[in-house]
Amino acid sequence: MEPIFVARGTAEAVPIFFVTAETYPDIRKRLGGDLCAFADAAGFAPKTGRQLLLPGKDGLGGVLFGLESGHEPRNLFLPGRLSRDLPAGSYRFASEPHDPRLGAIAFALGLYRFTRYRKSEAPQVKLELPQSIDGDDLQRIVEAITLARDLINTPANDMGPAQLEDAARGLAARHGATVRAVVGDDLLAQNFPLIHAVGRAAGAGAAPRLIDMTWGDAADPRVTLVGKGVCFDTGGLDIKPESSMLNMKKDMGGAATALALAHMIMARGLKMRLRVLIPAVENSIAGASFRPRDIYTSRKGITVEIGNTDAEGRLILADALALADEESPELIADFATLTGAARVALGPDVPPFFTDDDALADELARCAASENDPLWRLPLWRPYESMLESKAADINNVGGSQGGAITAALFMRRFVTAKSWLHVDLFAWTPSDRPGRPEGGECQAARALYALLAARYG
């Protein structure tokens, strides 16, 4: 993508003045009498989200933009509202928003358009960054989130398992990574029975597969990312209702998140040996569909009874997590649009995460807060494991009617021995336009984990 950020002093950048009720008097002194008179005549007040374009000698002379007052603003991405409304040109922050770095990221992300099927001209807007902000790092973050949003927004007719593999291969080629894929019946030959069972009904045109990407020096610390790649989820024989099926193109949001994070890591050149595992399937309905009460022996040897075919994501992740665990990496992190229970508990904006590693949890929570990439820890409450009991197999793939996000995490925990395992239950979607977050596919949790990994391995 074309760079959004420009180096300081490379163009005549229009100043953006961020104002609150407390700071507006000082900003007015900087503006001078004529511009203050113009702002007064236009009825501008320093209220949250209020914007005013100021005249200059040869065109646009500046921009006033109202922010929330106080030291704990609710929305650090509010500057993302600016970039969608400004005329073409280069801009700079003449006064600081609450967090200049996050304001710059939001400014850039607010320009996002999904244009594959309908032409939409994005504003030709650039932002001049202060020298204190690493523009290269911000650009790679914006590129990664754009990648994830594009993948999630692409409908299943153009983003099936094969196309998801193509996306992984394209990213790998860009960074010198290697990719292998285990496809179709080869999944059985190479012991990925759960991935095969979930995806086999889609047929040869959308054959299930395990995408396996590696990058970095084998001698460096090992980190493995696992992303749920259900390219469309009908629910299987336990079919979803229409309202629940409508946005199921986003059920590969975990895979998109893993690829986005991988781009940040590889573009930054972090000192790690990265592995990305994506089980990619369509959960379709056909004569070959897996059925309720079927029992399969997983890669790890744990037998699984199918209590509900709409709980397919945890099945494909189980085989991928078992493979990841075989290498004993320092960290395994999986991302999945897994449960509606997570949305009921925390809504669309705050994904829950699960881990047994308290130090990891504390570090991730700090990074989530500092990056305005919200996450909230939920417990791996072991007494709920009884909900997953099966009379015919080692475990059932669903629990009871309550605590669904926890029981899903507990199910996957059975397939990992590493203590430093992280599971994030994503929504991967913004239901309505917000500053820096247009309606549609969204990349959640990746910036928070990137900050953590950069601190560890940068």
Whether 406 shows a pLDDT value over 70: the answer reads yes
Over residues 183-208, the pLDDT tens digits come to 999 999 999 999 999 999 999 999 99
Distance of CA 294 to the CA centre of its chain: 33
Give the mean model confidence (pLDDT) for residues 401-429.
97
Whether 72 shows a pLDDT value over 90: the answer reads no
For the chain, the domains span 5-133, 141-457
Over residues 330-358, the pLDDT tens digits come to 999 999 999 999 999 999 999 999 999 99
Provide the edge-to-edge strand list for the sheet that holds 395-396. 295-297, 303-305, 395-396
- CATH no., domain 141-457: 3.40.630.10
CA-based end-to-end distance of the chain? 24
Over residues 228-246, the pLDDT tens digits come to 999 999 999 999 999 999 9
Binned at pLDDT 50, 70 and 90, residue 11 comes out as: low
Whether 390 shows a pLDDT value over 70: the answer reads yes
Whether 1 shows a pLDDT value over 80: the answer reads no
Binned at pLDDT 50, 70 and 90, residue 70 comes out as: confident
The answer to whether 382 touches 396, Cβ cutoff 8 Å, is no
Give the mean model confidence (pLDDT) for residues 19-39.
95
**CATH class of the domain at 5-133:** alpha beta
Contacts (Cβ under 8 Å, ≥6 apart) of 161: 199, 202, 206, 207, 208, 209, 229, 231, 280, 281, 282
Element (H, E) at 202: none
Whether 139 shows a pLDDT value over 90: the answer reads yes
Provide the edge-to-edge strand list for the sheet that holds 5-6. 5-6, 125-128, 89-93, 14-19, 59-66, 51-56
The answer to whether 332 touches 416, Cβ cutoff 8 Å, is yes
pTM above 0.95, yes or no: yes
Give the mean model confidence (pLDDT) for residues 357-369.
98
Distance CA 80, CA 112 (A): 10
Nearest to 429, CA basis, from 253, 281, 234? 253
Over residues 108-126, the pLDDT tens digits come to 999 999 999 998 776 789 9
Whether 322 shows a pLDDT value over 90: the answer reads yes
Over residues 264-305, the pLDDT tens digits come to 999 999 999 999 999 999 999 999 999 999 999 999 999 999
Rounded to 5 degrees, what are φ and ψ at 86?
Answer: -80, 150
The helix-helix angle for 446-457 and 135-153 (nearest 10°) equals 140
- What integer pLDDT is reported at residue 10 of this predicted model? 65
Whether 131 shows a pLDDT value over 90: the answer reads no
Render the burial of 367-404: b for 16+ CB within 10 Å, e for the rest.
bbeebbbbbebbebeeebbebbebeebbbbbbbeeebb
The helix-helix angle for 253-268 and 446-457 (nearest 10°) equals 30
Whether 107 shows a pLDDT value over 90: the answer reads yes
What mean pLDDT, rounded, does the chain reach? Answer: 96
List, by residue number, the catalytic residues: 240, 314
Give the mean model confidence (pLDDT) for residues 422-436.
97
- What integer pLDDT is reported at residue 101 of this predicted model? 96
Binned at pLDDT 50, 70 and 90, residue 153 comes out as: very high
Residue type, 440: G
